[in-house]
Structure 1
Amino acid sequence: MENRSQAPLIFAAFFAIYVIWGSTYLLNKVAVDELPPFLLAGIRFVIAGVLIFGIAALMGKKLGITRRQLLNTGLAGFLFLSFGNGMVVWALKFVDTNFAALIIAAQPLLVMLLMWLLQGHRLRPISLVGVALGILGIYLLVSQDATTRHPDAWIGILMIFAAMVAWAYGSLFVGKADLPGNSFVNTGYQMLMGGGMLLVMSLCFREPLSNPLEWQADTLWAMLLLILFGSIVAFTAFNFLLKVVSPEKVSTNTYVNPIVAMLLGWYFLDEPITLQSVVAALVLLTGVYFISTKHKTISLRRFRRSRVAR
């Protein structure tokens, strides 16, 4: 339950999912140029999970969980990491980082639609306006030539949309599921199980193995930053926020992530920022704003009731 004493932690957690996650598009793009996507993500999350368990043990946290919690963390790890993150990393082989981040900005739209389909939430007129603007923004984004300059760009687009559905459902699932109470322990199990599934996926897709001692310096730095900040710091903050605020409020990181990703992609990777992309971003984020703000109070009240009942 959200309270005033947690305000500094909530502020820091939002900074992590806003800014740090915005930079992970660049880091994944750098690393996936050398490493296959599932192997990259699997190594990242398994190492991060081991480190998180070490931190939790040093803090004196109990690592034991119930069988139900183990199953729930496994499902969350699959939705968020194995499928959700794995698909996005793979998609970055076909699309630019700024494009991927802008598409994912529509995440609150999917959260709202799933809340309507699965939980019976009523769609208000202003939300329907947000949906229309979101669809228009996505169309403006994907219809420009700069977006589809890679011959397999549409494969990347479909992967990103599939990942978004997984993340949207995972956000609703985690908000109500029986999970470990400590954020470090919860994140550690999700990382280990999600990363383990990614390594199995890597074997199934016969991705080539890679010796870390032979990686380029840029790849090593990208992996290190992804593990320490993108995984441990930001994902722990993400799980913490899902337990203290509403799912739609957490998904507002998509307001800031695209801006961070666009600027970093332009500065470090020379990715173009077209006028149509800027217009698409404004239209899309305006739609997301309409969607999120109208449901914030109602959803937070519902979310509080569900936590008290549990």
Structure 2
Amino acid sequence: MDKKSSATLIILAFFSIYVIWGSTYLLNKIAVAELPPFMLASVRFLSAGILIFILCLFMGKSLKISKKQIINTTIAGFLFLTFGNGVIVWALKYVDSGFAALEISAQPLVVLILMRIFQGKRIKAMSVVGVFLGFIGIYLLVSQEQIVSQENSVLGMLMIFACMVSWGYGSLFVGKADLPENYFVNTGYQMLFGGILLLISSLIFGETWTSPTTWGNDVQWSMVLLIIFGSIVAFTSFNYLLRVVSPEKVATSTYVNPIIALALGWYFLNETVTIQSIIAAGVLLTGVYFINTSKKLVILERFMNKETEK
């Protein structure tokens, strides 16, 4: 692939994880109002995984996978989908879709801290400012009385944070793990194993499964969009980006996701957007900006040093 094609693919992949994933909060919120959360997530990812394998066969892609890759795709599927997504869907029963997206906008802060813990990467001064602003933003977001007073909202917020840690660690894991080289195949196996684990979780929690023919039209359309775009297109883009750019850059999707989610939740579900939430979003995203500005300065500094050495 030439540089121009590669650059175009990266831009499209970023658009996918920015905009499409921003809309999945609304779609999950609509579906979880009628369907049990782990059943919903299991049907979504198992269906997407099977469709991806069918596409791979049509494209002549080998589905061969080693034992090590089976283990790694299962771990990634658990971190990203079984826990990282399934529990968020569960939490959406108790918190607004826009609020969930705003809380998850702190994902780059979590990635940065995890990189420090597990990879020993030093946190730059500007990134420290970003982390500080991030914590302030999270506090402003979760301390709102109208949110805290809702039933099980605090538990929902805590579980969303746990999902952020799971996604953050998964991002670091995937960047180094031995996984299928083809991004479609890699995504398909992660969704297959993640979906199976979600199915097991659904049975353990005693969820009642229903036929798609009994679902409402809004739920049926939400599931179709979640499977095709939210799962196959966006998640494949996510896995691709984790291999070609750094994890903290991939995590910047949280710049746009909350804006899309807030707007859609307000327009379609009449979710309340408070002034404090808007301020919290501004503080959080400013923190994320400081983190990524720090990364850009490091890259620029290295480039300038190389030019000086010539």
Unaligned runs of 5+ in 1: 303-310
Q: Amino acid of the residue matched to residue 203 of structure 1?
A: L
Cα offset, 1:147, TM superposition: 2.1
CA distance in 1, matches of 2:57, 2:81: 23
CA distance in 2, matches of 1:101, 1:78: 20
CA distance in 2, matches of 1:225, 1:36: 18
Q: Which residue of 2 aligns with 1:247?
A: 247
Q: Which residue of 2 aligns with 1:306?
A: none
Q: Amino acid of the residue matched to residue 73 of structure 1?
A: T
- Seen in structure 2, the aligned counterparts of structure 1 residues 5 and 212 have a Cα distance that, compared at 3 Å, is closer
Verify the 8 A CA contact 1:246 1:299 in the aligned structure 2: no
Q: Which residue of 2 aligns with 1:43?
A: 43
Show CA shifts across 1:257-284 (max 9, x none): 0000000000000001111111100000
CA distance in 2, matches of 1:87, 1:50: 22
Verify the 8 A CA contact 1:187 1:236 in the aligned structure 2: yes
CA distance in 2, matches of 1:197, 1:187: 15
1:44-193 correspondence to structure 2 within 5 Å: 44-193=44-193
- Normalised by the size of structure 1, how large is the TM-score? 0.94
- Seen in structure 2, the aligned counterparts of structure 1 residues 149 and 268 have a Cα distance that, compared at 3 Å, is farther
CA distance in 1, matches of 2:196, 2:214: 23
Q: Amino acid of the residue matched to residue 257 of structure 1?
A: N
Q: Does 1:22 align with 2:22?
A: yes
CA distance in 2, matches of 1:114, 1:229: 29
Q: Amino acid of the residue matched to residue 104 of structure 1?
A: I
**Structure 1 residue matching 2:181: 3-state secondary structure:** coil
CA distance in 2, matches of 1:191, 1:215: 23
Q: Which residue of 1 aligns with 2:237?
A: 237
Q: Which residue of 1 aligns with 2:201?
A: 201
**Structure 2 residue matching 1:114: 3-state secondary structure:** helix
CA distance in 2, matches of 1:119, 1:2: 32
**Structure 1 residue matching 2:256: 3-state secondary structure:** helix
Identity, % of aligned positions: 63
CA distance in 1, matches of 2:170, 2:163: 10
CA distance in 1, matches of 2:150, 2:199: 27
CA distance in 2, matches of 1:297, 1:57: 44
Verify the 8 A CA contact 1:36 1:208 in the aligned structure 2: yes
**Structure 2 residue matching 1:252: 3-state secondary structure:** helix
CA distance in 2, matches of 1:150, 1:221: 28
Cα offset, 1:225, TM superposition: 0.4
Cα offset, 1:146, TM superposition: 3.0
CA distance in 2, matches of 1:256, 1:53: 30
Q: Which residue of 2 aligns with 1:290?
A: 290
Cα offset, 1:295, TM superposition: 2.6
Verify the 8 A CA contact 1:99 1:147 in the aligned structure 2: no
Q: CA RMSD in A?
A: 1.8
Unaligned runs of 5+ in 2: 303-310
